[in-house]
A and B are shown apart, each in its own frame.
Chain A
Amino acid sequence: MSSSATLRTGGHPPTPGRVAVELVVNGVPLAASLDPRRSLLDLLREQLGLTGAKKGCDHGQCGACTVHVDGRRVASCLTPAVQAHGRQVLTIEGLSPAGSPLHPMQQAFIDHDALQCGYCTPGQIMAAVACVAEGHATSPEQIREYMSGNLCRCGAYVGIVAAIEDAAMKMAATTMATAGRSAEMPEARHAAV
């Protein structure tokens, strides 16, 4: 991983430069030339049209923007998009692409009515999927702790905990059935953005 940009040590104030970034979003490789100020969240939402991840605070204080980067949940609002260079990003849109069945976590959120307005929901679900994968969904207390980075102002927390407990069991079964599938590389197709 190296940068084609060079460090300019003089010339303050600098003119805004663009930075070349390559990343994979929901399995699709993308190349972009980005304003380094742009957050991963704003890249996803305003540039790629992936508006599932939401802006609730823009400062890492609410969790509505949660996506996975290289399989780990992060706050995309506090991630400069240029930092996603060389990384795999998964958003709610990639969790169960249109036409495919819902992820067990999504189904569990429906079954337990773990949402109301739906605004924080994509972030909750991305966090919840990671919470299970991390092994942090072994008890209601642990789920509450490890889901506390996702605020729900409607107050659906009871349903969220129930949904995660439910989905964790189903995900354990699914993981065993499909082990190895996630290692498949996406088709090497570049889309300029």
Chain B
Amino acid sequence: MQPFDYVRATSVADAVRAFGAAGPDTRLLAGGTTLYDLMKLGVETPAHVIDVNGLRELETIDTSQPDELVFGALARMSDVAADPVIAGEYPALAESLWRAASQQLRNMASVGGNLLQRTRCAYFRGGEPFACNKRAPGSGCAAQEGIDRGHALFGGSEACIAVYPGDWAVALAAFEAQVDVEGPHGPRSLAIEALHVEPGRTPDVETTLAPGEIIVRIRVPKTPLGRASTYHKIRDRESYAFALVSVAAALRMEGDMVAEARLALGGVATRPWRVRAAEAVLRGQPFTPALARRAGEAALSGARPGRMNAFKVELGIRAVADALSIARQRG
């Protein structure tokens, strides 16, 4: 690991000031489960690291507000997953957290930092000699003609087909969460869907955060869609693995009719992948297994598989249908 300069921030203002002043080769250290991991691999090589774990004011979990759930960026994944309101009223949010990683890592990882988790693409993480435009812009993309079983069906470009690996952001996308940031130019708020960007020609740029900006809060509008929801995650093993396909599904039923639906996919796209066309298939229709399947087909339509991941299209369709059935049983 390259030597770096380490400081502990004592307040959000302190962190913003330090982050803004320190320049582009600076990283914020929250849970460390992505950053420190990638530093050990030599993929991240910051010269400056600002530890924000002391910012206790960012650890809040507040479910008592009338209109929204508020999560401080440094609330830990395990704590949010275990919150009784979240677990009971928003099972998709809770499941997206406890089905990620292991309890050890969830005790460490923050819900703000988790949004910025970087891809698991082996060509990205493996360093030399693999071509990777995300890690080494201009070097190419080894995954395109390589082992792409875990790579994206959606949102890829010639420069990059690496999957966004997170679960939580996928569930947040289904619930139209807002992300509050603080930066050198003051606070701002953006929709979760406006946080991540597709790789395009610049796969090294993964978010719309400006230099020096810090995620401080995640807000989820309270919604009757919460209860009839699930985060359904299909993996190569039963636990402690990244998704082959995952589905955040939420329904608001009126009798047997779907009044409103939310669907987002994980494990198959370069960013959290909300599928509004599939939601439209469901809206106003009586819920049946056949309808759930049609929603799955709509969700996976337009997929662009590579050499080894075509199976994820059918798997995704079935996972969507199953997720909708689980959500339906909860509403």
Contact = CB atoms under 8 A, between A and B. Distances in A.
A and B interact physically: yes
Contact of A15 (B3, B40, B104, B240): B3
Most chain B CB within 10 A, of A39, A78, A79, is at A78
A19 B103 contact: no
B107 interface: yes
A15 B108 CA distance: 28
B194 interface: no
Nearest to B125: A59
Contacts of B102: 60, 63, 75, 148-150
Interface string B104-118: 110110000000000
Given A15-B3, A148-B238, A148-B240, A85 B8 contact: yes
21 contacts: A7-B5, A7-B21, A12-B23, A12-B47, A13-B47, A16-B3, A36-B4, A36-B6, A59-B37, A59-B40, A60-B37, A74-B107, A75-B33, A78-B33, A79-B36, A80-B29, A80-B51, A145-B239, A149-B101, A149-B103, A149-B240
Contacts of A75: 33, 102, 104-105, 108
B49 interface: yes
Contacts of B3: 13-16, 37
Interface string B67-106: 0000000000010001000000000000000000111110
Contacts of A119: none
Nearest to A76: B104
A92 interface: no
Interface residues of A, number: 44
B7 interface: yes
A3 B10 contact: yes
Most chain A CB within 10 A, of B39, B104, B105, is at B104
Given A1-B54, A58-B40, A145-B239, A8 B5 contact: yes
Given A80-B29, A148-B240, A6 B7 contact: yes
A146 B78 CA distance: 11
Contact of A73 (B21, B48, B104): B104
Interface string B22-47: 11010001001100110111000001
Contacts of A129: none
- Rank and list the top 8 A-B pairs by shortest CB-CB distance, nearest first: A149-B102, A148-B239, A16-B3, A36-B6, A3-B8, A14-B5, A7-B7, A148-B240
Nearest to A59: B37
Interface string A108-141: 0000000000000000000100110010100000
Contact of A7 (B22, B107, B108, B240): B22
Contacts of A149: 101-105, 240
Interface of A: 1-3, 5-9, 12-17, 19, 36-37, 39, 58-60, 63, 66, 72-75, 78-80, 82-83, 85, 127, 130-131, 134, 136, 144-146, 148-150
Given A78-B37, A82-B51, A14 B4 contact: yes
Nearest to A135: B82
A9 B22 contact: yes
A37 B51 CA distance: 13
Given A12-B47, A80-B36, A83-B29, A3 B53 contact: no
Given A7-B18, A59-B40, A78-B37, 15 more contacts: A1-B10, A7-B5, A14-B5, A17-B5, A19-B6, A37-B3, A37-B4, A59-B41, A73-B107, A78-B36, A78-B105, A80-B36, A149-B105, A149-B240, A150-B102
Contacts of B23: 9, 12
A162 to B, nearest CB: 18
Contacts of B214: none
B50 interface: yes
A74 B41 CA distance: 20
B1 interface: yes
Interface of B: 1, 3-8, 10, 18, 21-23, 25, 29, 32-33, 36-37, 39-41, 47-51, 53-54, 78, 82, 101-105, 107-108, 238-240
B321 to A, nearest CB: 24
Contacts of B41: 59
Given A74-B107, A78-B37, A3 B32 contact: no
A75 B78 CA distance: 14
A73 B103 contact: yes
Contacts of A58: 40
A144 B323 CA distance: 22
Nearest to A19: B6
Contacts of B238: 144-145, 148
Contacts of A145: 238-239
Contacts of A150: 102
Contacts of B5: 7-8, 14, 17
Contacts of A78: 32-33, 36-37, 105, 108
